[in-house]
Structure 1
Amino acid sequence: MAAIQKRGKKYRVRVIRRGFPTQSKTFITHAEALRWSRDIEIQMDRGEFKSHEAERSRMVDKSIPFQQAAHHYQKTHSIHKKIVRCETSRLNILIKRWGDLEVGKVDKQSVITLRDDLLKMGRSGETINHYFNTISKLFQMLKDEWDIDIANPIKGIKRMPPSQGRTKRVNVELECLLLSGCDQLSLPLLRSIIQFAIYTGMRRGELMRLTWADIDLPNRKAYLHQTKNGEPRQVPLTRQAIAVLEALSKDEERVFPMGMDALRSQFGHLKEYAKGRWNGIGVNPFYDLRFHDLRHEALSRLSDAGLNVIELSHISGHRTLGMLKRYTHPSHEAIFLKLERE
């Protein structure tokens, strides 16, 4: 309902409609006031109305600090993801960088500078793309859930090309040094974890979540309910893997009752120990050794044993041949032996 009042030589119009904020404006003529009020009412009827107050509110929302938006995203989105630890780590780094900066001022150039700084630090293309994904999803939240009219700073920025992947092999010599190091440092559980990782090709998180209820010894298989790609799978257990399991205590629910922080700490300590005892030729292989390299080695050994890509993907859980290729590095000797059999 519109009400028009004459005030001196001008006309003040007010549009009052339930469910909408009252709209008012002043015009020189009655006809202009009437035309404006009818336009507003038509917009309200069609659901097309946007108040000036709402627009101003949206502009004010752009001034909230980045850290406020990031903390909210952590609590409402990251917490429900399997990658919560990794995404939280990235968000904390971004908060240190843009904490008090208004979200409206985190623009494309801000992201490009971040990319360049990460490259200087030696971060891989995949790591940088993970930062891009986190930033993009955070700004999508601001637009979809907070109703802030804000541009996504990732738009228009090309993703980084994937890296070539690691080709490191944990050969028998390195394996022996790691296992003997566990013995010398009195780390029996870490020794079992390393052996089981090499015998099965499981990821670190899959190993540490494994419970005795997931182990089927008669049928020699392990059930993985939570995996990186979200699809459960079964991993066949070799006789070597079975021997590792049989030597373990069954008093705990988990097969390897160790926290992730303890695993990182012990593996780092073991690397330092083995590094000091390496007397081979060339670069010390323990400088850049990662726990994940054990998975690479496991799949490469299975490939050397003659398993085809379908069988390897069944064990590893990889969905694409491209990813499996990056993880599997057959030895020259294994390839040569197969050729000799032809």
Structure 2
Amino acid sequence: MVDRIKITKRTIDAIPLQAPGRSPKFYRDSELRGFGLKVTGHSKVFIVERRVSGKVRRVTIGTYGAWTPDNARAKAQQLLAEMAQGEVPTDKKRQERVRGVTLREAFGQYVQVRELTPKTIREYQRAVELYLADWADRPLTSITREKVSERFNSLAEERGAATANSVMRSLRAIVQFAIQHYGSPERPLLRENPVLILSHTRAWKRVPRRQGCLRPADLGPWMGAVQELGNTTLRDYLLFLLFTGLRREEAASLTWEQVDLPNRMVTITKTKNHDPLELPLPEFLVELLIRRREEARQTDSPFVFSSSGAKGYVQDPRGALAAVAKRTGISVTIHDLRRTFITIADSLDISAYALKRLVNHRTDRGDVTAGYIVSGVERLREPMERIARAILAQASGSDSPPFR
């Protein structure tokens, strides 16, 4: 309900507050069109209302007491004049605030809203706080196409092509998120993502795909050195990676709740593509996990590969890999173990659909047939066991692997 009154100190004092639970009541000034008073159960607030771009918009001036009727009326005249020009003061303030959003703020919001893996968060954080540190507290709107090109070229020259590509991919993702999150079709934050200049000019650097993996002649010495590691957790972790093809974080963060020894399988819930993975366990890993389970009964850790670190599970196996490399002369990365698993599987002529499911790769969107194939854990058990036998056979150089 709206009443029309002359808004003065006397008339405002005479208006009672609304009873608890009642809706606000509005009073319009009889002299200045658009000027009004909103009365609730605990306050009396000066407002202005006017149609802007076909919609009635309301702007709050302030509370009676903090504002006098005369001061509020003068402010109302100013606001109504701005609204007559098509500007809503609250929208204008919000736009000014949005245009001041910094790269660091956008990154913080991005991490909160999006479901990202710890590895992705670390990559983005490294890009923002190390390679783009001088941009971190500047408004996103100050990052131009020219600046992106200059920084990209300098990174490529000083840090290498792979780093330059990675940093700019991170920046592109954060800026694109900010455009959608903070802007609107009527008032976009940016007309275009400035990182797109690298695509428009075909400036992205070609980085040869890494091809590292354990060759057949390397498997025996490498596995032998791994099994002699003093740290049994890292020993078993490296072997687990080799025999499953899992990504480092998927295996490292594995909990005993995800292990089903009676059914010889594990369930990976947090994966890179967010698709859960039920993976059968070959006999070699079943025996490995039984040994670990016996050792784990002496601790309270929920993790299969527990550690005293902050996260409670193994984080950096590079020291162990370096020790193995020093002993054998065979240097590999964690991801090389995944490549080894895939390479051996491919050599066994395992079906493409089974292999993609084992390593949790999504099939091509255009592959209609793949959409009808459901590879359950039992369908994957035989190819998984074949891969394990091939790894052990190559490691021993015979059909009677010595590794147990």
**Deviation of 1:60 (Å):** 6.5
Q: Specify the alignment match of 2:73 in structure 1.
A: none
Alignment partners' CA distance in 2, 1:201 and 1:136:
33
Q: Specify the alignment match of 1:194 in structure 2.
A: 238
Q: Specify the alignment match of 2:59 in structure 1.
A: 20
Code of the residue aligned with 1:216 in structure 2: it is: D
Q: Specify the alignment match of 1:133 in structure 2.
A: 173
Q: Specify the alignment match of 1:205 in structure 2.
A: 249
Structure 1 residues 307 and 128: alpha-carbon distance in aligned structure 2, compared to 1, 3 A threshold: farther
Code of the residue aligned with 1:90 in structure 2: it is: A
Alignment partners' CA distance in 2, 1:172 and 1:86:
33
* CA contact 2:171–2:195 (8 Å) conserved in 1: no
Q: Specify the alignment match of 2:160 in structure 1.
A: 122
Matched, 1:275 2:311: no
Q: Specify the alignment match of 2:357 in structure 1.
A: 314
Larger radius of gyration: 2
Q: Specify the alignment match of 2:289 in structure 1.
A: 245
**Deviation of 1:81 (Å):** 2.7
3-state DSSP class of the match of 1:235? strand
Higher relative contact order (CA 8 A, sep 6+): 1
1:165-184 to structure 2, matched below 5 A, reads 165-182=209-226, 184=228
3-state DSSP class of the match of 1:223? strand
* CA contact 2:103–2:136 (8 Å) conserved in 1: yes
1:1-342 to structure 2, matched below 5 A, reads 16=35, 17-18=48-49, 19-20=58-59, 22=76, 24=78, 49-51=86-88, 54-55=91-92, 58-59=95-96, 62-63=99-100, 65-74=102-111, 76-77=112-113, 80-82=115-117, 83-93=120-130, 95-120=132-157, 121-124=159-162, 125=165, 128-143=168-183, 149-151=189-191, 152-158=193-199, 160=204, 163-182=207-226, 184-248=228-292, 249-251=295-297, 252-258=301-307, 263-265=314-316, 267-278=317-328, 285-286=330-331, 289-320=332-363
* CA contact 1:59–1:149 (8 Å) conserved in 2: no
Aligned residues: percent identity? 18
Alignment partners' CA distance in 2, 1:24 and 1:291:
65
Contiguous gaps of at least 5 residues in structure 1: 2-12, 26-35, 44-48, 280-284, 323-333, 335-342
Measured against aligned partners, the alpha-carbon deviations of 1:6-42 in whole angstroms (never above 9, x if no partner) come to xxxxxxx9964431374549xxxxxxxxxx97x966x
Measured against aligned partners, the alpha-carbon deviations of 1:155-199 in whole angstroms (never above 9, x if no partner) come to 444184775522222135444444444455512111111111111
Measured against aligned partners, the alpha-carbon deviations of 1:91-144 in whole angstroms (never above 9, x if no partner) come to 323551313434331111222223223333224346642332123223443425
Alignment partners' CA distance in 1, 2:131 and 2:77:
41
**Deviation of 1:315 (Å):** 0.6
Q: Cα RMSD (Å) of the superposition?
A: 3.9
Contiguous gaps of at least 5 residues in structure 2: 5-31, 36-47, 50-57, 61-75, 366-393, 395-404
3-state DSSP class of the match of 1:276? helix
TM score, norm. by length of structure 2: 0.59
* CA contact 1:309–1:321 (8 Å) conserved in 2: no
Code of the residue aligned with 2:335 in structure 1: it is: H
* CA contact 1:169–1:293 (8 Å) conserved in 2: yes
Measured against aligned partners, the alpha-carbon deviations of 1:50-99 in whole angstroms (never above 9, x if no partner) come to 2478547634653555444444544x336x43343333333323551313
Alignment partners' CA distance in 2, 1:186 and 1:200:
22
Structure 1 residues 101 and 313: alpha-carbon distance in aligned structure 2, compared to 1, 3 A threshold: same
* CA contact 1:197–1:295 (8 Å) conserved in 2: yes
Code of the residue aligned with 2:318 in structure 1: it is: G
Alignment partners' CA distance in 2, 1:153 and 1:203:
32
* CA contact 2:102–2:138 (8 Å) conserved in 1: yes
**Deviation of 1:309 (Å):** 0.5
3-state DSSP class of the match of 2:257? helix
Task: Kindly report structure 1 stretches of 4+ aligned residues shifted beyond 6 Å.
Answer: none
